[in-house]
């Protein structure tokens, strides 16, 4: 069964640049990983072999590792600079990580590719654009205004 979700993949130039280069670099890496996941989803749909399933699982777990570091680095920046909306931004990170962990668990339990597809081509791109455009943008701006410089 297929669903009629709009297929959305982010390009690097589609998400806003924030004022700190290390954050932009992390966001670009993340978009690249998610695009690779998109390709592995297509491969799995065209041939649902064990090998293709494992390749997708492996990449999803690599994405989780990358996301953990991404969020830890931003949380540390907020703490270093005393960002006043730390709790709001950090709680979005917690929610996003929980969703990603749930997705990976659901995929490993059920191999339901529709779940992964919907997340990768719809829910995540929408969330990521919105998160970078609000929380990350404000965090970087606040850090720079308060004298933080690109490491």
Contacts of 14 (CB under 8 A, 6+ apart): 129
Q: Minimal CB distance to Fe ion: which residue?
A: 136
Smallest distance from Fe ion to CB 68, Å: 12
Smallest distance from Fe ion to CB 105, Å: 23
Smallest distance from Fe ion to CB 49, Å: 34
Judged by beta carbon, residue 60 or residue 136, the one nearer Fe ion is 136
* Burial class for 18, CB neighbours closer than 10 Å (0-12, 13-18, 19+): buried
Cβ–Cβ < 8 Å for 148, 81: yes
Residues 113 and 46: their CA atoms lie apart, in Å, by 11
Of 62, 42, 34, whose CA–CA distance to 124 is shortest?
34
Judged by beta carbon, residue 103 or residue 136, the one nearer Fe ion is 136
Judged by beta carbon, residue 59 or residue 70, the one nearer Fe ion is 70
Smallest distance from Fe ion to CB 23, Å: 6
CA distances from 29 to 52, 73, 84 (A): 22, 14, 27
Where does this chain bind Fe ion (CB under 5 A)?
A: 74, 135-136
Smallest distance from Fe ion to CB 83, Å: 11
Of 107, 102, 104, 113, whose CA–CA distance to 63 is shortest?
104
Judged by beta carbon, residue 121 or residue 136, the one nearer Fe ion is 136
Judged by beta carbon, residue 24 or residue 40, the one nearer Fe ion is 24
Residues 109 and 5: their CA atoms lie apart, in Å, by 23
């Amino acid at each position: 069964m297929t669903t009629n979700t709009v297929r959305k993949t982010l390009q690097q130039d589609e998400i806003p640049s924030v004022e700190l280069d290390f954050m932009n670099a992390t966001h670009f890496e993340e978009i690249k990983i998610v695009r690779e996941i998109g390709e592995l989803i297509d491969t799995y749909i065209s041939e649902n072999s064990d090998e293709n399933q494992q390749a997708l699982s492996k990449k999803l777990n690599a994405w989780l590792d990358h996301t953990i570091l991404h969020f830890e680095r931003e949380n540390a920046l907020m703490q270093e600079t005393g960002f006043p909306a730390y709790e709001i931004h950090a709680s979005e990170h917690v929610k996003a990580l929980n969703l990603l962990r749930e997705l990976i668990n659901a995929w490993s339990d059920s191999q339901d590719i529709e779940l992964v597809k919907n997340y990768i081509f719809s829910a995540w791109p929408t969330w990521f654009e919105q998160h970078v455009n609000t929380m990350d943008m404000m965090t970087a701006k606040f850090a720079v205004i308060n004298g933080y410089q690109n490491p």
